Chains A and B, each alone.
Chain A
Amino acid sequence: MTLPLLTILGVIPLVGALVLLALPKGNARLIKQVALAFSIAALVFTVFMGLQFDADSTAAFQFVESYPWIPAFGISYSLGVDGIGLVLVALATTLVPVTILAGWNDVEDGRSVKGYFALILVLETLMIGVFSATDVFLFYVLFEVMLIPIYFLIGRYGGPNRAYAAVKFLIYSLVGGLIMLAALIGLYIVSVDQLGQGTFDFASLVGLDIDPTTQKILFLGFFIAFAIKAPLWPFHTWLPDAAKEATPATSVLLIGVLDKVGTFGMIRYLLPIFPTASEFYAPVIIAMAVIGIIYGALVAFGQTDMKRLFAYSSMSHFGFIALGIFVFTSWGATGSVVYMLAHGLSTAAIFLTAGFLMQRAGGLGAIAAYGGVNKVAPVLAGFLLFATMSSLALPGLASFVGEFLVLLGTFSRYVVVGVIASIGIVLTAVYALRYYQKVATGPPSPHVEGIPDLRGREITALVPIVLLTIVLGVYPAPVFDVVNPAVERTLEVVGVTDPVPTIGVLGGEQ
């Protein structure tokens, strides 16, 4: 018997959380160190698993483990990852230690340090689970349970308007989850119907032959939940409030990782289980995605609060991710996965740098309060600039690889859509550079005057993000190696092939 590696990985942070609870309350420093140690252990373990992962394997999932859970309903505790799941698990385990380090002093006096870091670690366990569940019911449960730690992270540790933001986030998500539950039950009934025995096993569900009408109904149930989670236009209005009130570390986990569950769900569940419905709804979703790209960018440009700006900018980027999935090309789908990683990293860069800056200026969120950071804190300004460039997908950085592939995948299928989405390239530059210009250039504003530059801990948190962004931009081969086969399998299930060039042969076939 092989070791249940994914379970072990998931348990590491959970054990960390329990250990934190056992530690003495007074020793905040020890609590943080232990939390960091466990998150790093999980990261190291992920790296180990990544090295074990066989990119050439023909199996759909690796590190597979399965135990009966509620046999009466065909529910099991089943885990396994394909390349897409693997890289998203890696994103989660990379960002958690970074956020712990960056959020070292996030907890205000009077609130529980222990609680904050324990919640982050519990959240990590759930994130690992949600990306590696191969039982749809298990996925659903984790999808819902994830709300709890995030709700408390926003509601207890957030800014002044945190209660409103947390409740709004929770209700939005619960509504989505409820609709998904209904669809899930429907899917179960279909499996009972066709297999004689109900199941939530992913592979079995993919094998079902669901009639088009039912597909269309059930698809909507899942899609709305994922669209809220992602979030796609017009299901996005919880995001700006949540982003504004949450601590930067929470925002990184929420927007950088958790929101990816939405787009991950689309590529993992919607496409293979409901191929006909996916094609049926694709035009609508593509329209939503493109509107999101342009709308998000324009509204981001109009924001006066920096965290709200990032929220709308993320929404614009999520439009790209969803677009890449629903154009049904290998370029688009792989591009989306790369974009998910890149966006996670770039979210970390932009929220953490802004967080460091705000912490130094009394927590002010208004862009207008800032100016001239470059003069006062050049290292911080350097990281701010890097975050800006990562956000506008500068070639050579990870986000460019994702963005270009998504646009290529779109253009190859729908020229006009590709052209419209490309306008996003300009709009992103407009709001991102405006942000940098207002915050970092010009004469220092009174709030910025005299602030200290970044400290060692803060730089240590940012450096891995910067390095990964560059490495994945210059040498994304390891990601392609694992993601390409997973994407090919998915598109094969949907039954689509890439458009063929008008002339000549594809480079890969020569």
Chain B
Amino acid sequence: MIGTGAARMAGEVTDVAPVIQPLAEATGVFSFLWVLIALPLAGAAILLLGGRRTNRWGPYLGVFTVTAAAVYAVVLLIGLMGRSPDDRSVGQTLFEWVFVGGFTAPVAFQLDQLSMVFVLLITIVGALIHIYSLGYMEHDPDRRKFFGFLNLFIASMLLLVLADNYLLLYVGWEGVGLASYLLIGFWQWKPSAAAAAKKAFVMNRIGDVGLSLAIMLIFVTFGTVVFDEVFAVAGEASESTLTWIGLLLLLAAAGKSAQFPLQAWLLDAMEGPTPVSALIHAATMVTAGVYLIVRSNAIYDATVFALTVVLVIGVITMFLGAIIASAKDDIKKSLAGSTMSQIGYMVLAAGLGPVGYVFAIFHLLTHGVFKANLFLGAGSVIHAMNNQQDMRRYGALRAAMMITFLSFAAATLAIMGIPPFSGFWSKDDIIHAAFEVSIVAGIAGMLAAGITGFYMTRMFTMTFLGKARWEDDQHPHESKPVMTIPLIILGIGSVFTGMALLFWGDIVGWLVPVTGLKQTPLPLPTIVYEVITLVLVLAGAAIAYVKYRKDVAVEAPQDVNFLTRAARNSMYDDAINNVLVVQPTYSVTRALVGVDNRGIDGIVNGIAAFVAGSGNRLRRWQTGFARSYALAMVGGAVLVLVVLAVVRLP
């Protein structure tokens, strides 16, 4: 038996609705839910406000707070597992935050099966990346700040997934955006890093408008923004309202998760230090959009249209990212394209509705592990190659860095979906689910898997195999244990996470009370789909291996087809945004500045000049003759009387 198609293979129909009920009060081990967020938040505060005196021990404090949070997360998991499956939603209210005329949003947390898996992903992968950063950022003069920002990120991300209402989620949502902004621009003396940071923030803000409007529409419709209160009555709203809410939430998700058409910031975000790319722009923050959609499943379940749009956006981005990943020579940008593409898979799965929510989250978890692994591996390589990121300058690194090579290999096999590595389980589940809903989506998922095989093999071959194309003064060496140990752990994770979650953790059964699940038998045995997918993956891999095993030119060849050229330019995303948005904004701004200076202020100064001129002329009326003054007084008195009469008259 392969995959979770057990019921499906047996020809059974599964249809489980999500359980919506008031949260149980947080007692026992759950009483300290708030500490989960408070720990990294305190870490951030101490590191960022403490100044230079915290330089020496600051980074260790950063590692400590996240590790402690991870340990507590495991305790919470054990606590949740001890409860009955239908009673795993625990809530804790701290205080009323915003309350005006019937609108209330508390600072309150909700821990359920969905937020639990996110908390584990965030804290455990987060802790590993913090540890890795001790080595990676060792020589950076500002590393105290770096750990402060990382802690801030962890706190915000935990707030995002633990908030029990949309408005508080928004705080986490922009909090991670702020942390992302600070960390992309961490080396802000580089103008490119500062520009990339701003671009990410602004594009995310476009998505935030969607979230903001969604929250308002939710409140105007349901009179509440608290999750379980909204979901309990979600189905009663009109379908058009739900469709709008769904589309607005999707806009938010597209911004945060770099989905089409708001994807352009993610490649630039690679300006940030590599651990940041691993944690924020691969494993956790960029998947927040998927969280938002799956969390709002009660809304999407009632709107086929919005779900379909989600599906289409996922499919488009899945290909867009995969094509970009296939053409980039910068290892981090290629990985960023891959992240877009893999999140595209998750969004696709979420767009399948109850058929796919569970598998979106399953893939999100396995991806979080193997993509963090890939980025940290890339970081190890970049470190060894004196910050060289061009894969055309890599090659034959296997011998020089065996641990990095092995762990990267495990992650590569995982993302390609080779059994039994972790990506295989989650990706195949998505493809199966897609076939249940739409043959087109299913075939798209298979083809994208083929492209994944191509770009990952290309990356792997160009980096670790073939001939050395290093620059003269380079002597690559394996990284220090503080970096390789997280790599080893993540490498093991890349192998086993899928199996562990599926068979030992029963991820599907775990999540179903939150997401619901629908399954119908597929027309063909699941093994057929798996074999076809595998053949495509291996074909893609073979093409890449043959092509990049030996002759890789140090300079990128220019005589390439249009698609490659477009992909190297990230499918002209910047050019398109420029023509459609940026340039028009500049033009309007220039025009308005002119209007303001010469138009409005011109009129004002014109009036002033007129008054001054009139004054000069009127001066001649000051004749000194009492009779003309008397006449003026009479005129004035009449005017006053007229005014009084007008006012008195009804």
Q: Is the CB of A504 within 8 A of B644?
A: no
Q: Are A499 and B95 in contact (CB under 8 A)?
A: no
- The 8 Å CB contact of A508, one of B104, B189, B208, B236, is B104
Residues of the B chain whose Cβ atoms lie less than 8 Å from the Cβ of A236: 600
Most interface-central of B97, B173, B194, B644 (chain A CB within 10 A): B194
B contact residues around A171 at 8 Å (CB): 608
Q: Given known contacts A213-B650, A429-B201, A440-B188, is B97 in contact with A234 (CB within 8 Å)?
A: no
Known contacts A234-B600, A433-B202, A502-B237; is-contact A507 B216 (Cβ 8 Å):
no
Interface residues of B in 198-215 (CB under 8 A from A): 198, 201-202, 205-206, 208-209, 212-213, 215
A423 touches B209 (CB 8 A): yes
A504–B220 alpha-carbon span in the complex (Å): 10
**CB-nearest residue of chain A to B220:** A412
Q: Does B195 contact A (CB under 8 A)?
A: yes
Q: Which residues of B contact A503 (CB under 8 A)?
A: 221-223, 233, 236-237
A30 within 8 A of B: no
Partner of A442, one of B104, B191, B219: B191
**A265, chain B: closest CB distance, angstroms:** 21
Residues 82-101 of chain B, each 1 if its beta carbon lies under 8 Å from chain A, else 0 = 00000000000001111111
CB within 8 Å for A394 and B229 given contacts A412-B216, A437-B194: no
Does B167 belong to the interface (CB within 8 Å)?
yes
> For the complex, what is the distance from the CA of A382 to the CA of B396, rounded to whole Å?
44
| Least distance between B135 CB and chain A CB atoms (Å) | 24
A299–B589 touching, CB < 8 Å: yes
Contacting residues, chain B, for A419 (C-beta < 8 A)? 213
Segment of A54-62, A344-352, A400-408 engaged in the interface with chain B: A400-408
A214 touches B647 (CB 8 A): yes
8 Å CB contact of A298 from B100, B193, B205, B585: B585
CB B219 to nearest CB in A, in angstroms, measures 7
Q: Are A506 and B201 in contact (CB under 8 A)?
A: no
How many A residues, CB 8 Å from partner?
A: 76
Which B residues touch A213, using CB under 8 A? Answer: 650
Report how far A335 CA is from B216 CA in the complex, Å.
Answer: 14
Whether the Cβ atoms of A237 and B596 lie closer than 8 Å is: yes
When the two chains form their complex, are residues B194 and A189 in contact, meaning their CB atoms are under 8 A apart?
Answer: no
| A411 and B220 contact, CB distance less than 8 A | yes
Instruction: Collect the chain A residues with CB atoms within 8 Å of residue B208's CB.
Output: 425-426
Q: State whether the Cβ of B485 lies closer than 8 Å to any Cβ in chain A.
A: no
In the complex, B185 has a CB within 8 A of chain A: yes
Cα A498 to Cα B221 with chains together (Å): 13
Q: Assess A443 versus B189: contact at CB under 8 Å? Given A437-B198, A501-B223, A507-B103.
A: yes
Q: Is A395's CB under 8 angstroms from B650's CB? A: no
A475 an interface residue at 8 Å Cβ cutoff?
yes
Bits for A366-386, please: 1 = Cβ < 8 Å to B, else 0: 000000101100000010000
- Least CB separation from A442: chain B residue: B191
Say if the beta carbon of A226 comes within 8 Å of chain B: no
- Which residues of A from 465 to 510 have beta carbons under 8 Å from B? 474-477, 480, 484, 487-488, 498-509
Q: Are B222 and A501 in contact (CB under 8 A)?
A: yes
Q: Specify which chain A residues have a CB less than 8 angstroms from the CB of B648 in the assembled complex.
A: 189, 193
Q: Does A303 contact B (CB under 8 A)?
A: yes
Alpha-carbon distance between A353 and B223 when the two chains are bound, in angstroms: 41
Cβ-defined partner of B596 (8 Å) among A299, A301, A437: A299
Separation in Å of the A238 CB from the closest CB of chain B?
8
Q: Give every chain A residue within 8 A of B592 (Cβ-Cβ).
A: 295, 298-299, 302
Give bound CA distance, A52 to B222, whole Å.
38
Whether B195 lies near A437 (C-beta < 8 A) is yes
Question: How far is the CB of B159 from the nearest CB of chain A, in Å?
Answer: 9
- Nearest CB of A to B357, in Å: 24
With A298-B592, A506-B223 already in contact, the answer to whether A498 and B101 are too (CB < 8 A) is yes
- Complex CA–CA separation, A508 to B99 (angstroms): 8
A396 at the interface (CB under 8 A from B): yes
Chain B residues closer than 8 Å to A219, beta-carbon distance: none
- What is the bound-complex CA distance between A482 and B528, given in angstroms? 67
B107 to A, closest residue via Cβ:
A474
Of the candidates B100, B103, B604, the one whose C-beta lies within 8 Å of that of A237 is B604
User: A34-42, A252-260, A277-285, A326-334: which lies at the B interface?
Assistant: A326-334
Q: Which residues of A contact B97 (CB under 8 A)?
A: 474-477
Contact B596 A211 (CB under 8 A): no
Q: Are A504 and B174 in contact (CB under 8 A)?
A: no
0/1 interface trace, chain A 148-168, chain B, CB 8 Å (1 if under): 000000000000000000001
B58 at the interface (CB under 8 A from A): no
- In this complex, which of A193, A299, A430 has the most chain B Cβ atoms within 10 angstroms of its Cβ? A299
Task: Specify which chain A residues have a CB less than 8 angstroms from the CB of B641 in the assembled complex.
Answer: none
* Chain A residue, CB-CB nearest to B191: A442
Say whether B522 faces chain A, with CB atoms less than 8 Å apart.
no
Contacts of B48 in A (CB 8 A): 382
Q: Mark A166-185, 1 if CB is under 8 A from B, else 0.
A: 00100110000000000000
A295-B592, A302-B592, A501-B220 given; A441·B229 CB < 8 A: no
Asked if residues B171 and A395 are in contact (CB atoms below 8 Å), the reply is yes
Q: In the complex, which residues of chain A have a beta carbon less than 8 angstroms from the beta carbon of B233?
A: 503-504
**Distance of A361 Cα from B167 Cα, bound (Å):** 42
- Contact partner of A186 among B103, B216, B647, CB < 8 A? B647
**Contact between chains at A302 and B173 (CB < 8 Å):** no
Residue A314 CB within 8 A of the other chain: no
CA distance A213 to B648 in the complex (A): 11
Shortest A64–chain B CB gap in Å is: 26
The answer to whether B229 and A484 have CB atoms under 8 Å apart is no
Selected from A298, A404, A474, A484, the residue in CB contact (under 8 A) with B101 is A484
Determine whether B137 belongs to the interface, using a CB cutoff of 8 Å to chain A. no
Cα A1 to Cα B174 with chains together (Å): 52
Q: How far is the CB of B647 from chain A (nearest CB, A)?
A: 5
Query: A8: CB under 8 A from chain B?
Result: no
Tell me the complex Cα distance, A372–B213, Å: 36
B53 within 8 A of A: no
Is residue A227 contacting chain B, with contact meaning CB distance below 8 A? no
Q: A257 to B355: give the CA distance in the assembly, Å.
A: 56
**B601 in the interface, Cβ–Cβ < 8 Å?**
yes
- Interface pair B241/A502, CB less than 8 Å apart: yes
Whether A237 contacts B608 by the Cβ 8 Å rule is no
Interface: A190 (CB within 8 A): yes
Determine whether the beta carbon of A302 is less than 8 Å from that of B593.
Answer: yes
A301 to B589, CA, bound (A): 7
Chain B residues whose CB sits within 8 angstroms of the CB of A47 once the complex forms? none
Q: Are A302 and B590 in contact (CB under 8 A)?
A: yes
CA–CA, A301 and B582, complex, Å? 12
Tell which of A217, A475, A488 touches B95, judged by Cβ atoms closer than 8 Å. A475
Q: How many Å lie between the Cα of A171 and that of B608 in the bound state?
A: 9
CB nearest neighbor in A for B640:
A185
Nearest Cβ distance between residue B496 and chain A, in whole angstroms? 38
- Distance in Å from the Cβ of B607 to the closest Cβ of chain A? 9
A506 touches B241 (CB 8 A): no
Please pick, from B178, B590, B647, the residue contacting A394 in the complex, using a CB distance under 8 A: B178
Distance, CA A193 to CA B224, complexed state (A) = 48
A306 to B419, CA, bound (A): 59
Determine how close the nearest CB of chain A comes to the CB of B585; give it in whole angstroms.
7
Given contacts A237-B601, A441-B189, A507 and B104 within 8 Å (CB-CB): yes
User: Do B205 and A426 touch (CB < 8 A)?
Assistant: yes
Q: Which residues of A contact B217 (CB under 8 A)?
A: 411
Most buried by A among B100, B209, B229: B100
Cβ-based interface call for A113 (8 A): no
Report the bound CA distance from A334 to B99 in whole Å.
10
Q: How far is the CB of B581 from chain A (nearest CB, A)?
A: 10
Indicate whether B557 reaches chain A with its CB closer than 8 angstroms: no
A405-B103, A422-B213, A437-B195 known, 5 other contacts, Cβ within 8 Å: A299-B596, A374-B188, A425-B205, A504-B222, A507-B223
21 contacts between A and B (CB under 8 A): A213-B650, A214-B647, A234-B600, A302-B593, A396-B174, A404-B215, A408-B216, A412-B219, A423-B209, A426-B208, A430-B202, A437-B197, A437-B198, A441-B185, A475-B95, A477-B95, A501-B223, A503-B221, A504-B236, A508-B101, A509-B102
Top 6 A-B pairs ranked by shortest CB distance? A330-B101, A506-B102, A501-B223, A441-B194, A302-B593, A441-B188
